Chain A
Amino acid sequence: MRSDIRSSHRPRPRGFPALSALMALTLAVLLLAAAWPGAARADDAKAREIMQKVNNRDDGDNETADVKMVLIDNRGHRRERDLKTFRKDKGEDTYTIMFFLAPADVKGTGFLTYDYAAPGKDDDQWLYLPALRKSKRIASSDKSGSFMGSDFNYSDMTKPDLDDFDFTLVKEEDVEGHKTWQIQAVPRTDKVKDDIGYEKSMLWVRQDNYVVIRGIRWVYQSSRVKFMKVNKLERIDGIWIPTEMQMVTQEGQATTHATVLQFNNVRFNQKLSPQLFTVRELEKGL
């Protein structure tokens, strides 16, 4: 920082030279801090290491579950959707297929997704509408869109690419009797913000098992804020898995909408055939 900050042009109040010098010094330090590349990006190694461990946590090579989605609007009205989901890892990539079981109007509607780990490679997604007896490929480039009409979006459902963010360890905090790290995640570019749909996030990571049990998400270019909370965390086949979580969307501190996701009959390490994750299976249905 340039030193002439201290001898700024403004006439110094007479009688308090020490005080104004102190103020100038403080200003200089603040400016220095703001201009420092590392400080501005505010990425810290400890936080990154924690997030790396979150991402590396064992979540099984494959997983099946029955998902109940409860959507709640601002007047307390609820609607429910039931899905059956299958997931299988293929190398770094993840394949998912899910089918709607209820409500009856959409029963049999299916989504098949190939989520590629390679940066810059868009996901592939197909959908099948039984009423149309047709499957279609969906071109989806960003993950900011709602996941099945819920308060969760696609980026909430997938692992983040850590290189896209700056992480800061804010503090350690006890949450519901568990020690956590509170970590702030800020996307490095506007493009990332646009893609994931969030301006920044605050995450609470449990220190004993590296599960994110709470999160606040500030929606990009909006005044909405979303609050994620894990309501039930279970250990199934040695794997920590949230079996109930909620996402509450607020605007000006008033809740506008909320979603609860419940995962039942969660099974890991089933023998899922790669054939299951094909358009043909999608069209065949359950």
Chain B
Amino acid sequence: MATFKARIESGFAAFARTVYRHRIKTLLIVFVALAALVSQLRYITYDTSTESFFRKDDPALIEYNRFRELFGRDEFLIAAVNPPKVFDKAFLAKLRDFTHALQTQVPHLKDVTSLINVRDTRGEGDRLVVEDLVKDIPQTPQAMAALKQRVLSSHLYPNLFISEDGRFTTVLIETQAFSDEGAKADVSAGFGDISLAPGTGTPAVAAKRKPLTDKENSQIVRAVERVVAQYNGPDFPIHLTGSPVVTDFLKRAMQSNMARFMALAVLAIGVFLGVLFRRISGVALPLLVVVLSVVATVGAMATLGVAFKLPLMILPSFLLAVGVGAVVHLLAMFYRNYERGGDKRQALVDALAHSGLPIVMTSLTTAAGLLSFITATLASVADLGVYAALGVMISLVLTLVLVPALLALLPIRRHPRFSSQEGSPLADRFLMGLGNFATRRARLVVVVSVLVSALAMTGLPWLRFSHNTLKWFPKSSDIRQATDLIDHELKGSISVEMMIDTGHENGLYDPAVLNRIQALERYAEDYTNAQGQRFVGKTNSVVDVVKEINRALHENQEAYYTLPQDRDLIAQELLLFENSGSDDLQRLVDSQFRIARVTIKSPWDDAAAYVHYVSDLQAKGSELFGNSTQVSAHVTVTGLIRLFTESVFALMRSMVESYTAAIIVITILMILLIGRLRLGLLSMVPNLLPIGITLGFMGWMNIPLDAFTLLIGSIALGLAVDDTIHFFHHFLRYYEETGDAAYAVHETLLTSGRAMLFTTMVLVVGFWLFMFATLNNLFYFGLLTGLTLVVALAADMLLSPAILVLTARKAPATAAPPAPATIE
């Protein structure tokens, strides 16, 4: 062991000498590499959409993309207006202007629909009318009352364009599903030949398209907001929501929060460093390293074209907090050597020789904890794992290369008295007290730890998974209020989508198919939640169009608002509708009349609340269209809400996967580092207990596991394990020297204990800064990670000594020195 260690130490010393000699060259190389990454920063993109949570090959996402290819984007913006009176000349005129303004001023648009231009299909005598609902604004009170009566009693409009009580009316803004990016102004592009020879494909037609980008989504939202601002007023109060708006809000919140936390973290860490080192270089060098590693990591993401997704919000401040520890260890060692009067080069070489190995080791365990996310089902969580680990490694390289080179180059002042490594008597007394208590009352400490853990973990059964990005915003935020309002008044701002694929052309002409779609719609509408309430606002499908046409063809008699049971009549009615000037059919059926879309407009709620609904819809669909029935068809549930529920499953899977991976990897690392199986396994107790306690606490406090709180366990594990490594490492050294466990604990606490205390404080402050966030998810993430680290420190300073003392007493032989001797 000793020669092995000596060899590593001399390796680090040689490395330090090389860096010292080639300090200018080293700096140049580092800065060129950094400049290359920094120059890429401007290409960084954001993606806060729900899809961004999924991997590209996720079946749910593939189904969703297929849906969008067939029917367009299911997400829409919704502007609800509640004027003093909806059915009023002046209001309708303004609504018409508002609709028109949106139509002309919003980019990437597919359609803007309001009461003014929504389709109105009716029979008038022998005439069939398909036109815009309000072609001319009614001028007489009678005509206005007739319009109101017609709208409120219609099958189509309530809960879609008007609230059931007639107070709210909405404008639906549908956008393109696919991006315009990369489209060139090549006018001849559309003139390709279409081959009609049988068996030949149509290359001009099939093309892979990129979904609308986050940037384009934001352009849409900005443009809509501008129009809304022009029209908003007491006579025309507008509430804007819809998932594209939520996505955009999230992005903006993310950007502003990130900027704020960067600033706060730099400030807090700077103050800490100032207090600790009382030197300019002691503040500037660590900050330089951590800021550069954040910049380089983000630059690397930009270079690789990886978008900044939601969980990555924590990346910058996380790297700041985590990276600073390593530099501090190195600097502390360097300054101590330097103060003792040694020459700068030798002080640097000694510092690297002594602290090189622990710095590398702790960085590796932190990175391993993060890399455990790599297999996560949630793509965004996997991304965080990869890039946070990369950031930690960049920070490690900068610590080992940039810091020595700069120290070599810069003039460093010598303080007459340098106190940080000597420690304050207060901290020493505190650490001594802890050591005494833990060793003398070892049994009590273990029993109390077990009791506290057990009590906390009784909260585990209440732990629940959640995915609800809207809940991340404070209650008072515009977006949350508007969404709640619209969900309350019009029962829904997002949708569940279903696809019923009959498998053959014109399959939807079959009355048996349409009858079953109708049954499915009824089932969806009558579904009640846990409180026994119906919550679905509206269902819409080709069935409604057929019924509408059928009634219009029969002089508007309500008795004919039914599905004809004659295949030819259905076919002819649909042909008529196709020819009527309305293109609404395009969004309800595919062009082959093979696949029907059923839209179920529903309120925004936690994904977990929709899990049963989605699976029940799928079951009902399969029951109605199963193979045993005479009309078999393939039923798929998709749309935004399906993505929500899938993300809950993905969260659960990610949690199990990443926790398992982290525990296995870190246990192996611990066993290897400590060099003994039994102690390695024991060392995992103080590592894992804090996570169990935090999870139990979340159960008690009803804090759900979401894409952010999920991360706490693995991150805390990766960080807490650093302390354990230090503790066990030093403990063993002292114990092997003396054979006295209590003495070894004291010595360990007084040396590495102080460093543990300090680095934990920096980390906890770093994480608790998130409690200043406007977003709830960040608040909880910061609070809980900080809490876990505090508990982990307590476990390392109290429980670890107690366990070590107890096991040493029981089995003095196994803990005795022979083991290292074999390595020598």
* A253/B183 in contact, CB under 8 A: yes
Q: List chain A residues, Cβ under 8 A from B110.
A: 222-223
Quick one: closest A residue to B567, CB to CB?
A105
Residues of A within 8 A of B107 (CB): 223
Q: Does B40 contact A (CB under 8 A)?
A: no
Interface string of B571-593 (1 = CB under 8 A from A): 11101101111110100001111
Query: Which residue of A is nearest B204, CB measured?
Result: A255
Which residues of chain A are near B566, meaning CB under 8 Å? Answer: 131
- A131's partner among B135, B572, B579 (CB-CB below 8 A) is B572
CB atoms of A100 and B575 under 8 A apart: yes
Interface 9-residue window, one of B162-170, B205-213, B265-273, B746-754: B205-213
Contact flag A258-B194 (CB < 8 Å), given A127-B576, A221-B104: yes
Instruction: Say if the beta carbon of B818 comes within 8 Å of chain A.
Output: no
> Is A149 located at the chain interface by the 8 A CB criterion?
yes
Known A70-B196, A130-B568: A142·B128 in contact at CB below 8 Å? no
CB A286 to nearest CB in B, in angstroms, measures 15
Pick from A106, A137, A248, A253: contact of B128, CB below 8 A: A137
CA distance A200 to B519 in the complex (A): 45
Identity of the chain B residue whose Cβ is nearest the Cβ of A217 in the assembled complex: B190
Contact of A132 among B190, B509, B553, B590 (CB under 8 A): B553
Do A246 and B194 have beta carbons less than 8 Å apart? yes
Please determine whether B506 and A105 come into contact, CB atoms closer than 8 angstroms: yes
User: B126 an interface residue at 8 Å Cβ cutoff?
Assistant: yes
State how many angstroms separate the Cβ of A79 from the closest Cβ of chain B.
Answer: 6
B135: A residues at CB distance < 8 A: 141
Q: A interface, how many residues as a size bin?
A: 35 or more
B131 within 8 A of A: yes
Pick the interface stretch among B137-145, B173-181, B636-644, B786-794.
Answer: B173-181
* A149 and B131 contact, CB distance less than 8 A: no
- A residues near B573, Cβ cutoff 8 Å: 129
Residues of A within 8 A of B192 (CB): 248
Q: Mark A101-130, 1 if CB is under 8 A from B, else 0.
A: 001011001010000000000000001011
Question: Contact: A252 with B183, CB < 8 Å?
Answer: yes
B69 at the interface (CB under 8 A from A): yes
User: How far does the alpha carbon of A164 sit from the alpha carbon of B649 in the complex, in Å?
Assistant: 58
Give chain B residues whose Cβ lies under 8 Å from the Cβ of A100.
575
State whether A106 and B178 are in contact (beta carbons under 8 Å apart), knowing that A216-B187, A221-B109, A227-B190 are contacts in the complex.
no
* B184 close to chain A: CB less than 8 A: yes
Contact (Cβ within 8 A) A106 B568? yes
Number of interface residues of B (CB under 8 A): 68
* Interface positions of B (Cβ within 8 A of A): 69, 103-104, 107-112, 123-124, 126-131, 135, 176, 178-180, 182-184, 186-187, 189-194, 196, 201-202, 204-207, 209, 505-506, 509, 553, 564, 566-573, 575-576, 578-583, 585, 590-594
Q: In the complex, which of the residues A78, A148, A202, A246 contacts B187, with contact meaning CB atoms closer than 8 Å?
A: A202
Q: Which residues from chain A contact B184 at a C-beta distance below 8 Å?
A: 253
Residues of B within 8 A of A252 (CB): 176, 178-180, 183, 209
- For the complex of A and B, list the 3 residue pairs with the smallest distance between their C-beta atoms, beginning with the closest: A145-B581, A227-B190, A105-B571
CA distance A79 to B553 in the complex (A): 26
Return B105 CB to nearest CB of chain A, in Å. 10
**Smallest Cβ-Cβ distance to B190: which chain A residue:** A227
Q: Is the CB of A130 within 8 A of B572?
A: yes
Complex Cα–Cα for A257 and B564 (A): 29
Q: How long is the Cα–Cα vector from A130 to B572 in the complex, in angstroms?
A: 8
How many angstroms from the CA of A229 to the CA of B564 in the assembled complex? 39
A77 interfacial by beta-carbon distance below 8 Å: yes
New A-B contacts (11) at CB < 8 Å, excluding given A77-B591, A129-B553, A129-B573? A72-B202, A73-B590, A100-B575, A106-B571, A131-B572, A141-B135, A146-B579, A229-B191, A248-B192, A248-B205, A252-B180
Report how far A257 CA is from B581 CA in the complex, Å: 17
In the complex the two chains form, is A146's CB within 8 Å of B127's CB?
no
Which of B178, B570, B579, B590 is the one whose CB lies under 8 Å from A254? B178
Determine the chain B residues whose CB is within 8 A of the CB of A136 once the complex forms.
123, 126-128, 553
By the criterion CB–CB under 8 Å, are A139 and B505 in contact? Answer: no
Contacts of B187 in A (CB 8 A): 202, 216
Are A223 and B109 touching (Cβ within 8 A)?
yes
Say yes or no: B176 contacts A251, CB within 8 Å: yes
In contact, B191 and A253 (Cβ under 8 angstroms): no
Which residues of A (248-273) have their CB < 8 Å from a CB of B?
248, 250-255, 257-258, 260
* Distance A134 CA – B572 CA, assembled complex (angstroms): 12
B207 near A129 (CB under 8 angstroms)? no
Closest B residue to A73 by beta carbon equals B591
| CB atoms of A106 and B194 under 8 A apart | no
Can you offer 15 A-B residue contacts whose CB atoms are under 8 A? Answer: A74-B69, A106-B575, A109-B576, A129-B569, A136-B128, A138-B580, A146-B583, A202-B187, A222-B110, A223-B176, A223-B180, A248-B205, A252-B180, A253-B182, A260-B196
Least Cβ distance of B301 to chain A in Å? 26
* Alpha-carbon distance A105/B696, docked complex (angstroms): 64
Contacts of A78 in B (CB 8 A): 202
What's the nearest-Cβ distance from chain B to residue A237, in Å?
26
B residues less than 8 Å from A216 (CB atoms): 187, 190
- A9 contacts the other chain (Cβ, under 8 Å)? no
Nearest CB of chain A from residue B303's CB, rounded to whole Å: 26
Q: Which of A76, A139, A229 contacts B205 (CB 8 A)?
A: A76
A105 to B196, CA, bound (A): 23
Could you tell me if B578 and A148 are in contact, using CB atoms closer than 8 angstroms? yes
Cβ-based interface call for A185 (8 A): no
Let me know if A96 is at the binding interface, CB within 8 A: no
Q: Note all chain A residues with C-beta closer than 8 A to B207.
A: 74, 254-255
Q: Given contacts A77-B592, A223-B180, are A248 and B572 in contact (CB under 8 A)?
A: no
Judging by beta carbons under 8 Å apart, are B578 and A72 in contact?
no
A225 CB–B CB distance under 8 Å: yes
Chain B's closest residue to A247 (CB) is B190
Query: Which chain B residue shows the least CB distance to A105?
Result: B571
CB-based contact A129/B576 at 8 Å: yes
Knowing A72-B205, A137-B128 are in contact, say whether A147-B191 is a contact too (CB < 8 A).
no
What residues on B are CB-neighbors of A202 within 8 Å? 187
Contact, CB under 8 Å: B572 / A132: yes
In the complex, what residues of A have CB within 8 A of residue B580's CB?
138, 140, 145
Bitwise interface map of A from 200 to 235 toward B, beta carbon under 8 Å scored 1, else 0: 001000000000001010000111011101010000
State the CA gap A127–B578 with chains docked (Å). Answer: 13
**List of A residues within 8 angstroms of B201 by Cβ:** 76
Give every chain A residue within 8 A of B129 (Cβ-Cβ): 138-139
Bound: A90/B196 CA distance, A: 36
Question: Whose C-beta in chain B lies nearest to the C-beta of A248?
Answer: B190
User: What are the residues of chain A within 8 A of B126 when measuring CB–CB?
Assistant: 136-137
- Cβ contacts under 8 Å, A72 to chain B: 194, 202, 205
Tell me, rounded to whole Å, the shortest Cβ–Cβ distance linking A142 to chain B. 6
C-alpha gap A144/B581 in the complex (Å)? 7
Whether B505 lies near A79 (C-beta < 8 A) is yes
Q: Is the CB of A132 within 8 A of B569?
A: yes
Complex Cα distance, B69 from A77, in Å, reads 13
Given A127-B576, A223-B176, A227-B191, decide whether A140 and B104 contact each other with a Cβ distance below 8 A. Answer: no
A103 CB contacts on chain B under 8 angstroms: 506, 571
B568 near A131: Cβ-Cβ < 8 Å = yes
Contacts of A71 in B (CB 8 A): 591
